Amino acid sequence: MNILFLGDVVGRAGRDALTARLPGLRARLAADLVVVNGENASHGFGLAPDMARAFLAAGADVITLGNHAWDRKEIIPFLEEERRVIRPLNFPPGTPGHGFVVVEVPGNRKALVVNAMGRLFMEPLDDPFRGVQALLQAHPLGRAVQAAVVDIHAEATSEKQAMAHSFDGLASLVIGTHTHVPTADHRILPGGTAYQTDAGMCGDYDSVIGMQKGAASLRFWRRVPSEKLGPAEGEATLCGLFVETDDATGLARRVQAIRLGGALEAAGP
């Protein structure tokens, strides 16, 4: 199975780049499954239903969220209607929406996509490790599903790496989101799980993690959080990861970084 994962979409620049480039990128890579983290799509904070629909129409199969999941209140009823948009599974019981989805992919195959959020330097949510473990055990690779993707939306690199090593051999891909800077550690772990600490963002890199440089930088100079932040609006780079897996085992055979357009050095198959 060919899997394309694209990191956090930030603001209009990220949205426009994604909807313009994803159809062609999906076709060129012959991607069977496309997962997009969309939690910063609306002005850098949250995801609106119309944006989610546009991403799905452009070729995303699943949209994951994160700590900004609730910033656009109209997303709450939408999460109940559209199972392909998922929020972190380790929010408390009774929280709207779902933390995972199983989708059909071409060739009569199935893929599990899980969204989890870290706890170091973030909200004190339920344990993401036990939640992910339960889902992977309930959907074994090569039997119930032909692929399993885990988006671990976390601040700490150590927590993301611990998640990957904990489930090496049980997931096709464990990939980090949230910090918006693509890491250079994409690889296949000893047990066959593809991994990258952070996929990076789909946004303007002439910025401070996707936000306009001036106001974002002043927050560090002045320590006054009232400076209004807005997304940078220059040409965006699409950042993510491409993974090829073995259908029989669900494990990774090839992994390559994706960087397309904008300020960063291009990369991709």
Catalytically annotated residues: 68
80: phi then psi, degrees, rounded to nearest 5: -75, -25
Q: Is there a contact between 130 and 122 (Cβ–Cβ < 8 Å)?
A: no
C-alpha 33/C-alpha 105 separation (Å) is: 7
Q: At 246, which helix (H) or strand (E)?
A: none
Q: What is the 3-state secondary structure (H, E, C) of 17-64?
A: HHHHHHHHHHHHHCCCEEEEECCECCCCCCCCHHHHHHHHHHCCCEEE
DSSP state of 131: H
Q: Is there a contact between 198 and 232 (Cβ–Cβ < 8 Å)?
A: no
Q: At 118, which helix (H) or strand (E)?
A: none
Q: What is the three-class DSSP state of 65?
A: coil
Q: Is there a contact between 259 and 265 (Cβ–Cβ < 8 Å)?
A: yes
Which tokens belong to 90?
């380790």
